[in-house]
Amino acid sequence: MGFVGLFGGGKRGGKRRVCSAACERIEVLYEDEWMLAVDKPGSMLMHRNIKLTRGKEEKYLIDELKKQQNDKEIYVVHRLDRATSGVVLFARSPEVVTELQRMLSNEEAEKTYIAVVWSFSPEQWVNDKPPTDHDSRKKVRRTAYTSFERLLTLQASRLTLVRATPRTGRTNQIRRHLAGDRSHIIGDVKYGKGRDNQFMRDRYGLPRLFLHARRLTIRHPRTSELMTMEAPLPLDLFNFLAALPDFSPYTHPPITDLGVSIGKHVS
């Protein structure tokens, strides 16, 4: 199995580039002649969207990545919401896009997300309620399945750190399933509660939606090797956790699930 992440080197033949936020470069977790995986920053759109930008000048992930790659051919394989950070895949050719999308749609890949929700959650649970498909004009309900696991309960803050593993890829699936379970993600301006979000912003500096694509496991489209790409929890979300009165990065076991280096992230 190939492994790429904060604690491991890149797979043979690939390159891993690390760059601080100050230099405004997109961190490439893995790349070769067929595909690449990057760590998408939070609050950055994947590509141009007139409805969301409303004429404002913004940086787009695909454009910034093409600049870094000297305008090499790069194609979007799947998307993350603007406010969601973490692992996202791109391909070098339309043929590879098709193959990677086939694996994602046929549940031949595993995606793992980290979220903080406003509730006390059970140890494990599943939501398989089919949401209305936003991409369909007829508003068809399509199959959706997400499994959840509690990583940490913060009693004083009334928050729970959870791991989400979606088997399907519907629009806003994790956010909608958690909202349907009355466990909305903090910072979710669409499906959450404005008063709760504002409280967390004012009191603890919540920067955005607390949803991070932590890990993606998929077979290489040419070698068939099983590969795992990981993105550590970004600094803005980690600093929010560290500001909570009942979270200790030095004593809570789930810190290893976040993939962070304590010395590096605590400022």
Q: What is residue 224's predicted lDDT score, i.e. its pLDDT?
A: 95
Q: What is residue 56's predicted lDDT score, i.e. its pLDDT?
A: 62
Strands (E), the chain: 2-4, 27-31, 35-40, 75-76, 85-91, 110-117, 124-127, 146-154, 159-166, 211-219, 226-230
Q: What is residue 12's predicted lDDT score, i.e. its pLDDT?
A: 29
pTM: 0.84
The total of other beta-carbon atoms located within 10 Å of residue 249's CB is 14
pLDDT of the chain along its 267 residues, tens only?
A: 554 443 333 332 343 333 333 346 899 999 999 999 999 999 899 976 555 555 565 788 999 999 998 877 899 999 999 999 999 999 999 999 999 999 999 889 999 999 999 988 888 999 888 876 555 566 667 788 999 999 999 999 999 999 999 998 888 899 999 999 999 999 999 999 999 999 999 999 999 999 999 999 999 999 999 999 999 999 999 999 999 999 887 766 556 677 765 444 433
Q: What is residue 114's predicted lDDT score, i.e. its pLDDT?
A: 96
Q: What is residue 266's three-state secondary structure?
A: coil
- What does residue 178 show for φ and ψ, rounded to 5 degrees? -65, -40
Q: What is residue 3's predicted lDDT score, i.e. its pLDDT?
A: 42
Q: What is residue 21's predicted lDDT score, i.e. its pLDDT?
A: 39
Q: What is residue 65's predicted lDDT score, i.e. its pLDDT?
A: 92
Q: Which DSSP state fits 248? A: -
Q: What is residue 32's predicted lDDT score, i.e. its pLDDT?
A: 95
Q: What is residue 146's predicted lDDT score, i.e. its pLDDT?
A: 95
Q: What is residue 11's three-state secondary structure?
A: coil
Q: What is residue 80's predicted lDDT score, i.e. its pLDDT?
A: 94
Q: What is residue 258's predicted lDDT score, i.e. its pLDDT?
A: 78
Quick check: 65 and 59 in contact, CB under 8 A? no
Which residues, in sequence order, are bridge partners of residue 212? 85, 114
